[in-house]
Amino acid sequence: MPRNRRKHQANGNSHNNDSDDDLSNDNASVYSYASQEPTATDGYNNNNDNDGGGSPDGGATGGFEKYEEKLLQAIENASDKSLQTRINAFQVINETLVHHYIPDFIDDRKMTLLDAIEKSIKKGKSAEQAWAARIIPLLVIQLEGAEEDMNEMIRVLKPVLLATALDGAASYDARAKCCQALGLLNFLGSDDVGDLLPLMKTFEGIFAGSFLKGDNQPSSANAEAAAMHSAALSAWALLLTQIPSGDLVSLVNSNNQMIPSIRKLTGMLQSPHLDVRMAAGETLALILESGRSHDEDFLEPDLADLIEATQKLATDAHKYRAKRDRKVQRATFRDVHRYLEEDISPEITIKFGKETLLLDTWSLHHQYICLRNALGFGMNVHLAENGFLRDVLALGAKLDELERNAKAAKAEKKFINAAAFKARTITRGKNRDKRSAVIN
């Protein structure tokens, strides 16, 4: 059973290409933004997503929400003979689990879902595999990380996810989604270093495709392959946040090849693809943060080269890059450069409802980004309602529980004050009676 996940270790300030975060202030290195609110998607009405589980259609039939009816049908269709029907079913399941927190409903149907997902990843192709893999982290989050459920999901799904991630015949997108699912599944369900390191080595074998070539030239991987490399590196970095800082320092210093060399990761900064450059930069910051928490001189011999490389990317003005790419890159690498040079981590504030989540370490930010990539526009709902996710991000008890406790404390205080008032009234009444007797 996973513990409190807030570890002030190597953190990735992972900006993702899919993110719509406002980066218009190109000069700010410490910034704040609010989680995106849910919006309507194709074929799905999300008008009431902010209530954390109300019917999208504004009502219920016989106490059974409309979205639950659609979800039941989708779960049944996930095993249909038609490929397109299965894909459509996984899309509906994904949308529902993103926008609604329904652990009891999912718990009753988890085995059916697991079976459908396993078959689609094992025997399906491309889009079907990708959509099936996307549902896995959502199931973990919905089931609140229950140890028995986690063990079963890892036992059933890890082998097929690994096989697909390593399958050269599978599409790059399907392999990328399997890497992301593997990373989150093991981050949320396992904290055994002995289990995490072999999986991290597998991820390294995938993103090694973006290492510099033998002649120190950038990788020639195309955009789709680079996106897969970025996903594998992001999953690798997520598992890194589970490795104790002392163990990481020992692994890096021992040169036992369980951790890729800093030179190889630094070489990825020369990739022609933005997502690879950003993932590499944030991973380097993550490694430095974890190592520095154990040894303040960690990787000191490599620091000058890292600072020079990140400074170039933080001030990159090459016109052959898209304007938005340059802006996102500069914002990210200013934060990385500042951390390497001044040991100052960026602080990012996430506002949802009446609450605020502060991401003040690279580790916590990378964990948040990976979870947000899985939950998308439903992140607000789960931050407010999902106790397991709140525990992972160290948010504490749900606000409604805190309000109930506050009301109970207020009611108790009111009762005590009323009892004290009554006792004072009785005592004073008796004293008044005695004064009356003396006067008479």
Is pLDDT above 80 for 314?
A: yes
In this predicted structure, what is the pLDDT of residue 56? 39
Return the higher-pLDDT residue of 354 and 60: 354
Its pTM stands at: 0.78
In this predicted structure, what is the pLDDT of residue 320? 78
Distance of CA 199 to the CA centre of its chain: 18
Average pLDDT of the residues in 381-409: 77
How do residues 411-421 score in pLDDT, each as one tens digit?
566 667 766 66
Is pLDDT above 80 for 63?
A: no
Residue 275 binned pLDDT confidence (cut-offs 50, 70, 90): very high
- Of 73, 6, 94, 39, the closest CA to residue 375 belongs to 94
Which of 11-15, 233-237, 428-432 is predicted least confidently?
11-15
Q: Which residues contact 12 (CB under 8 A, 6 or more apart)?
A: 234, 237, 238, 279, 282, 283, 285, 286, 362, 363, 365, 366, 369
How do residues 13-23 score in pLDDT, each as one tens digit?
444 444 344 33
In this predicted structure, what is the pLDDT of residue 323? 87
- The percent of residues above 90 in pLDDT, for the chain, comes to 63
In this predicted structure, what is the pLDDT of residue 333? 96
CA distance 176 to 232: 7
Task: Return mean pLDDT, the chain.
Answer: 82
How do residues 343-364 score in pLDDT, each as one tens digit?
999 999 999 988 999 999 999 9
In this predicted structure, what is the pLDDT of residue 104? 92
Please list, residue by residue across 386-411, b when 16 or more beta carbons sit within 10 angstroms of its beta carbon and e when fewer do: bbbbbbbbebeebbeeeeeeeeeeee
How do residues 185-212 score in pLDDT, each as one tens digit?
999 988 788 899 999 999 999 999 999 9
In this predicted structure, what is the pLDDT of residue 318? 79
- The percent of residues above 70 in pLDDT, for the chain, comes to 76
Which of 62-76, 94-108, 291-305 is predicted least confidently?
62-76
Amino acid identity, position 177: K
Residue 254 binned pLDDT confidence (cut-offs 50, 70, 90): confident
How do residues 110-159 score in pLDDT, each as one tens digit?
999 999 999 999 999 999 999 999 999 999 999 876 788 888 999 999 99
Residue 401 binned pLDDT confidence (cut-offs 50, 70, 90): low
Give backbone dihedrals phi and psi of 350, rounded to 5 degrees, phi first.
-110, 120
Angle at 186 between CA 103 and CA 391, to 5 degrees: 50
CA distance 290 to 294: 7
